[in-house]
Amino acid sequence: MKFTVEHLSKSFGEKRVLEDINFTFEQGKIYGLLGRNGAGKTTLFNCLNGDIKYDTGRFCFETENGVSTPEPEDIGYVLSTPTVPDFMTGREFLKFFLEINGDRIVNPKTIDEYFDFMSIEPRDRNKLLKDYSHGMKNKMQMLVNIIAQPKLLLLDEPLTSLDVVVAEEMKQILRKAKNDRIIIFSTHIMDLALDLCDEIVLLSRGELEAVDKLNLGNNEFKEKIIAALKEDGNA
């Protein structure tokens, strides 16, 4: 399976944020979407997820059975600030999600098996979500997106504010989850992208460019990437 973006552009007023983006993402890989804060990473995700309208372009899935336009359930989106219903317990939230999505979940597990998968301790499973830490809320948001089994999973700086232990757990979960889908992971931290991602793409001045990880051993090339992460440009 492939996910192809063609001639995608987006402006806000006179400010051009995305400039004729063309790229093909492949199943089984985690792509690091590298760009400085304000480069347009969230705007790109919002376009792909259908949250905002783009000006020009198209995107589609390609399989051996042909080409298809994404349906809402084909794309999962994990926000940098987790959004979960604070009035529910972790168990209630997961039970509710499984009930309303039961007809499209393949090979469902028990609630506790899902909690085990995310390394959420038994003592925390019946707590109100409002009492969860930021990292635990992020785990719950990640979990429901993985359960839904989207073809494409968008992760908007999900590890930025997590402690070291939770961040490492999340990395392991993503490595397990990548086989059946395409994962695009946005970050402005190059070392994180190098550690987690199979491929790296740089969003700079509204354009998307593939980066050969081998070149990052070259100091001159690395300085070019660092400069792109620091430069002022599109919002």
Distance CA 220, CA 216 (A): 9
Residues of the chain with pLDDT under 70: 161, 216-217, 231-235
Distance CA 90, CA 128 (A): 6
Two tokens, residue 204: 């700079």
pTM for this entry:
0.88
Distance CA 157, CA 186 (A): 5
pLDDT for res 119: 87
pLDDT for res 88: 97
Distance CA 49, CA 75 (A): 6
pLDDT for res 162: 72
pLDDT, tens digit (0-9, with 9 covering 90-100), for 127-159: 999 999 988 998 899 899 989 999 999 999 877
Distance CA 2, CA 233 (A): 30
pLDDT for res 231: 63
pLDDT for res 234: 42
Residue 129: count of CB within 10 angstroms of its CB: 18
pLDDT for res 159: 78
Query: What is the set of domains in the chain, with CATH numbers?
Result: 2-86+153-230 (3.40.50.300)
Helix (H, G, I), strand (E, B) or coil at 36: coil
